[in-house]
Amino acid sequence: MQTSFLQHPNIQYTKQKLKLTAARLVNNHVNLAVTGLSGSGKTAFITSLVNQLIEANEAAHLPFFSVVRESRLIGVKRDVQPNLTFSRFAYEDAMVKLTQTSPEWPSSTKGISQVRLKIKYKKSRGLSQYLTEDATLTLDITDYPGEWLLDLPLLDMDYAQWSRHCQEELNDPLRHDIAGPFFTAVNRLDLNAEGDELALQKIAELYSQYLIDCQTRGYQLLQPGRFILPGELSGAPVLHFFPLTDVQLQQQRGDLNKPVKGSNVELLSQRFEHYKTKVVQPFYKDHFKGFDRQVVLVDCLSALNRGFHSYQDLQKALDWLMGSFQYGSSNILNRLFQPKIDKLVFAASKADHITPEQQTNLVKLLESMLHSARKQIQFDGVSTESTAISAIRASKSGLSQLNGESIPVLQGRNEQGASITLFPGEVPQSCPSPDFWKQQKFEFPKLSPPLMNTQYVLPHIRMDQVLDFLLADKLI
Ligand SMILES: Nc1nc2c(ncn2[C@@H]2O[C@H](COP(=O)(O)OP(=O)(O)OP(=O)(O)O)[C@@H](O)[C@H]2O)c(=O)[nH]1
Ligand SMILES: [Mg+2]
């Protein structure tokens, strides 16, 4: 019997080879980073993202995620993470807490962690349908503190310039009061005396305490970033430095560039330089450089709750933080290396704390905070999106009658777990004037996590839209 043309061994071999090549071509990889300042919702976001993907074919509600809507998602599973020096993202622990009888929010995290997912899907179109049906996208997700990005501008400063910059912050009356113990100690230090490591360590600890106390009072522009979140550097001399006061800077004048050998001021200046080259730069070179896509979470509602100073400080911190995503030729990052993030999502987190008709205002408020920097980022060729999300939705919205009128309300559980129904208030579209804050306060509620009963899929707001923006082009 004659072999048909298509069954000829050479043709079979070529088909096999094409199949392999095509499979390799579609075996994509995305390195997604999630950041935000302390408490902005990074852990909740990644927990929900992993949960939505793993449960996507079960009961997850992802109507705007095209690969799910088109029934092309085959399955998602966790795989061994690529970077063995990062902590493993504690997804399982978070899910245990969220699904227990009295659900709790996942624990606060302090450093960098990672999770790898393998997403198996059916391709949507093209020649490849003859070659292979399925493809796999490898998704690495890294959680890192936004505070680390606040250190980027340090790379362009010397010790004297940085000290001057910190003094501007310290001149804020409230910050100045908080820094009382630090000022007393630093003013007693003889800069030109022989270097005293222990004395410097003690003053550095007072400076860290000042930053921590500022954070407790709602300030967010706190740097050096590792002073609050030292991770593996806790106790290391590289963190034992602090800014000099205006008076000290005037007394030293030009001498800061040529400090007395072995003096306190020489040690301080060396440590500052060491921090820049051995802590800040390596983060950008070893990790940040590898990220393809980035989510930045911003907790606008908590800043509104805390008052004008907190809101203004969040705005400043965001300005600093966004320097890391501006790739213009004069940027510090471009001079160091070429970063490659091509998609960036700014998400106002915890949008379940407000009623649905306020969500447009929340996005506008976020955009007003990002305005000029965002334009620059787009100009540099990064595609950006701003949105309002809830990673783990802890409220339901509805209508209630008040004096014969229907008003939008939220139903959820307060921090003690008791059921509450409330109208949390309006969200401004931009930062209100200082006078407004004197007369009125914002009181967006804190909520307990939702009761999951027998469910294992986390309720959310707009996680599917975020997933689609970040991954749809890699899942075709
Ligand atoms: N209602 C509601 N609360 C949220 C949501 N996401 C986060 N939260 C609240 O915000 C807190 C902080 O969230 P995390 O996810 O731990 O934030 P984080 O950025 O990882 O915080 P750190 O690890 O401390 O930097 C949680 O404990 C919750 O109280 C959400 O989608 N809805
Ligand atoms: Mg966390």
Buried b / exposed e over 284-318, threshold 16 CB at 10 Å, is: beebbebbbbbbbbbbbbbbbbbbbbbbbbbbebb
CA of 291 to the centre of ligand 2 (A): 19
Indicate where the chain has its CATH 3.40.50.300 domain(s). Answer: 9-147+288-394+452-474
- Mean pLDDT score of the chain, rounded to an integer? 90
pLDDT tens, position by position, 132-141: 579 999 999 9
Q: What is the pLDDT of residue 337?
A: 79
Give the residue, by CA position, lying nearest to ligand 1 atom 2: 350
Among 8-12, 41-45, 431-435, name the most confident range.
41-45
**Type of residue numbered 52:** Q
Q: What is the pLDDT of residue 51?
A: 97
For ligand 1, whether the C-beta of 225 sits within 6 Å is no
CB atoms within 10 A of CB 398: 13
Give the pLDDT band of residue 20 (cuts 50, 70, 90). Answer: very low
Between 332 and 6, the higher pLDDT residue: 332
Q: Is residue 374 within 8 Å of residue 298, measured between CB atoms?
A: no
pLDDT tens, position by position, 190-212: 999 999 999 999 999 999 999 99
User: pLDDT exceeding 90 applies to what percent of the chain?
Assistant: 75
Q: What is the pLDDT of residue 124?
A: 84
Q: What share of the chain is helix, strand, coil (3-state, %, to 5)?
A: 50, 15, 35
CA distance 185 to 181: 6
Helices 91-99 and 42-54, axial angle in degrees (round to 10): 90
Q: What is the pLDDT of residue 1?
A: 45
Whether 432 has a pLDDT exceeding 90, the answer reads yes
Q: Which of 392, 397, 452, 460 to mutate to test the pocket of ligand 1 (most atoms within 8 A of CB)?
A: 392
Whether 3 has a pLDDT exceeding 60, the answer reads no
Range 37-64 average pLDDT: 93
For ligand 1, whether the C-beta of 390 sits within 6 Å is yes
Give the pLDDT band of residue 129 (cuts 50, 70, 90). Answer: low
CA distance 4 to 11: 10
**Type of residue numbered 224:** P
Give the pLDDT band of residue 281 (cuts 50, 70, 90). Answer: very high
Q: Burial-class residue 237 by CB neighbours within 10 Å (0-12, 13-18, 19+).
A: middle
For ligand 1, whether the C-beta of 148 sits within 6 Å is no
pLDDT tens, position by position, 317-329: 999 999 899 887 7
Q: What is the pLDDT of residue 340?
A: 87
Give the pLDDT band of residue 128 (cuts 50, 70, 90). Answer: low
Whether 330 has a pLDDT exceeding 60, the answer reads yes
- The pTM of this model reads 0.92
Its CATH architecture, for the domain 9-147+288-394+452-474, is 3-Layer(aba) Sandwich (3.40)
Q: What is the pLDDT of residue 60?
A: 75
CA distance 170 to 310: 15
Atom of ligand 1 nearest to the CA of 460: 31
Atom of ligand 1 nearest to the CA of 40: 19
